[in-house]
Structure 1
Amino acid sequence: MQVLNEQALLADVIRERRSIKKGYTKQPVLKETVIELLEVAIWAPTHGMRQPWRFLFVGEEQQKQFAKQIASTYPEERQQNREAYLNEPSAILVMIMQSGENQKQQDENFGATACMIQNFQLLAWEQKLGVVWKTNPHIYDPTVAKMLNVQDNERIIGFLHMGYFDELPENKERIPVIDKFSTFHVG
């Protein structure tokens, strides 16, 4: 019976988790907390045990300079907006992934990293730490990659904006599975 109770708890966490995009409190996100969550999140499925991820933590002390540097890659008229945007969360975790040697490995690495990110989001949610996975244009900018010491065999797949929050976003309904489910028929 213990397994059923744990499954029910997991199902609840999966259904309750939300992406927290704004409204962060002033409570800092500590590097130690992020490392603790990542130590569990990395138990995601990973093809060939490649574990293709690496992380760059931007905490409270580094954030203003980080935001200024990333914003500087935008056209001048957008820089102030992008800098403010990157200073909204309490911390940012840059998700860096090893590129695959071929399309199959690229897909496998992305799938494994996405699973790890979902694990991280669920674990953070249990701690009342909000997370949203951001894929803004700067993650594709070679200048940003160079600034962040991303290697030739790596790519940025997102910035995780993080922060504690007081207000829960609305629940957005999902399309019922049956509407997207079919059975293979021979012939």
Structure 2
Amino acid sequence: MLNAVDQNIISRRTIKAFKQDPVDVEEIIELLNIAKWAPNHKVNEPWRFQLYTGAGKEKFVQAYVNAMPTIEGYVSQKVLNKAQYFRDIPLHLVVIMPEDPRQRRWDEDYGAISSLIQNFQLAAWERGIGMIWRSNDWIYDPKFRDAIGVTPGEKIVATLMIGYPKHVPEKRPRTDIREKLIIINE
């Protein structure tokens, strides 16, 4: 029998189509304060966030546009269409971690921040807020990083596009875990 947490995990979907209804920034802060309870070695909280809302979204959108290749100095229609899509999404949350040069610490930090993001997605989903976790090529572009103030030695783990779902995709089948599990009992 599935409990409420189980149901929330199973029902959560990646949302790509958003209503233009605003999402309360204070609610996002509250959700991040819940999500921060992710497993975190040494409780070093290896994360920081930048939230783009209202007119502030334009800084995020322009950073994206400026990071995209141009053709003879012109931005492609595809890029302009994507920029408008980004403008229409209520919130953009950039999730950033320090890149520790020690591989073990880097791995632990990345695991912690990924857990935080999943906690955030699940807590938001419970309240009817959806998102998509993007890690597209342009987040690595120095033009994009510089434009939003991400410094060398920091990694953008995700750009989360957040809003109320206009459409919730159907559940796609997942492989039964028994097909991916080896049980060693001797």
TM-score normalised per structure 2 = 0.90
After TM superposition, the structure 1 stretch with the greater mean CA deviation from structure 2, 134-143 or 74-83, is 74-83
Amino acid at match of 1:13: N
Distance 1:185 1:9 in 2: 32
Kept in 1, the 8 Å contact 2:63–2:143? The answer is no
Match of 1:128 in 2: 128
Match of 1:18 in 2: 13
Match of 1:74 in 2: 68
* Deviation sequence 1:26-56 (CA, Å, 0-9, x none): 2112221110100000000011111101000
Alignment of 1:19-98 (within 5 A): 19-22=14-17, 24-76=18-70, 77=76, 78-98=78-98
* Deviation sequence 1:95-132 (CA, Å, 0-9, x none): 10111231111111110000000000000001100111
Distance 1:108 1:42 in 2: 15
Amino acid at match of 2:177: V
Aligned length: 180
The 3-state SS of whatever aligns with 1:131 is strand
Task: Note the residue ranges of structure 2 that are not aligned, 5 or more in a row.
Answer: 71-75
After TM superposition, the structure 1 stretch with the greater mean CA deviation from structure 2, 30-39 or 149-158, is 149-158
Greater RCO, 1 or 2 (C-alpha within 8 Å, sep 6+):
2
Task: Note the residue ranges of structure 1 that are not aligned, 5 or more in a row.
Answer: none
Alpha-carbon RMSD across the aligned residues, in angstroms, is 1.8
Distance 2:154 2:183 in 1: 38
After TM superposition, the structure 1 stretch with the greater mean CA deviation from structure 2, 41-50 or 164-173, is 164-173
Q: Percent identity?
A: 33
Kept in 2, the 8 Å contact 1:145–1:155? The answer is no
After TM superposition, the structure 1 stretch with the greater mean CA deviation from structure 2, 137-146 or 123-132, is 137-146
Kept in 1, the 8 Å contact 2:15–2:167? The answer is no
After TM superposition, the structure 1 stretch with the greater mean CA deviation from structure 2, 64-73 or 125-134, is 64-73
Match of 2:169 in 1: 169
The change in CA–CA distance for 1:135 and 1:88 in structure 2 (over 3 A counts) is: farther
